[in-house]
Amino acid sequence: MLDYHQVKRDRRKFLALTGLTLREFKALFPAFHEAYQEHYPPEKTVAGRKRKRHCGGGRPGRLLTAEQHLLFILVYQKTYPLQVVLGELFGMSQSGANQWIHRLLPVLRAALSALGVMPEREGRTFAQAERGKNEPRDYIIDGTDRRRQRPKKPDKQTLHYSGKKKTHSDKNVGIVHTQSKRVGYLSPTYPGKTHDKQRAEREQIAYSRRAIRHKDTGFQGYEPQVKQTHQPKKSPVGKT
């Protein structure tokens, strides 16, 4: 069973399982703990009803500490295992893992929002959301490609087929700060057939006029008005 106090001793394993360093985990923990208390006050049950007995009564759960709560949901977010696998990792049933996932995801989202690190999801308000950030307007825009199960219907197979990697996938457009590595914007999910440039144009992303944007050839021809745009050029065939 994965235990926070054991896993944190191996920093490389901790990073691989959660996607965070131990220092980042500790920075996130207070906001997560506060959000958990707001979502699930100790004087009420999970369903929101007033308790008839003190908190902690009854059969003890598998996730006994707040650190274990955060470790559980971060492992799920980072590795995205099957629920039965996640249950085995934390010593619970598949149904128990499902319940904890739905219980903790809103808490994690609230904690990240409180810390101001949740990405903007509306392209038109991206520039406005970045005004309060004390960071250089230096961005990288790129597309993500996540494999998905092959759809059963032929029309959906065609829609989600990514010819570049010969897999069925879902895609998003992300904008990341070059220095802090913070994700400033994340688009809605599109089927794998949709081109990067087409997705970016459809979202009508608004940039600061002082912004510097770095892009690859997948965004060839995507030119909203910014201060500078940088795009690498392909070497001629046969040359390096």
The verdict on residue 238 lying in a domain is no
What total number of domains does the chain contain? 2
**Residues 75, 10: one domain?**
yes
The verdict on residue 240 lying in a domain is no
Model-level pTM? Answer: 0.76
**Residues 163, 95: one domain?**
no
Distances, alpha carbon 63 to alpha carbons 73, 89, 103, 190, in Å: 11, 12, 12, 35
**Residues 102, 194: one domain?**
no
Four-residue CA torsion sign, 58, 63, 65, 70: negative
**Residues 13, 65: one domain?**
yes
- Residue ending a domain, among 65, 87, 115, is 115
Q: Are 204 and 224 contacting, i.e. CB atoms less than 8 angstroms apart?
A: no
- Return averaged pLDDT per consecutive 10 residues of the chain, 240 residues in all: 93 94 95 93 75 66 88 94 94 94 95 90 92 89 88 89 82 92 92 90 93 92 91 69
Determine the pLDDT at residue 59: 66
**Residues 57, 136: one domain?**
no
Four-residue CA torsion sign, 143, 144, 150, 151: negative
- Residue ending a domain, among 90, 115, 140, is 115
The verdict on residue 235 lying in a domain is no
Ramachandran assignment for 142, one of left (phi > 0), alpha (psi -120 to 50 degrees), beta (any other) = beta
**Residues 169, 72: one domain?**
no
**Residues 99, 128: one domain?**
no
**Residues 108, 14: one domain?**
yes
**Residues 69, 20: one domain?**
yes
> In the structure encoding, which two tokens stand for residue 237, read together?
């065939």
Domain holding 197, by residue range, is 123-230
**Residues 204, 148: one domain?**
yes
Describe the chain by its helix, strand, coil percentages, rounded to 5.
40, 15, 45
- Residue ending a domain, among 67, 99, 115, is 115
Determine the pLDDT at residue 60: 66
pLDDT tens digits along 81-124: 999 999 999 999 999 999 999 999 999 999 999 998 889 999 99
Determine the pLDDT at residue 240: 55
Determine the pLDDT at residue 57: 60
The verdict on residue 142 lying in a domain is yes
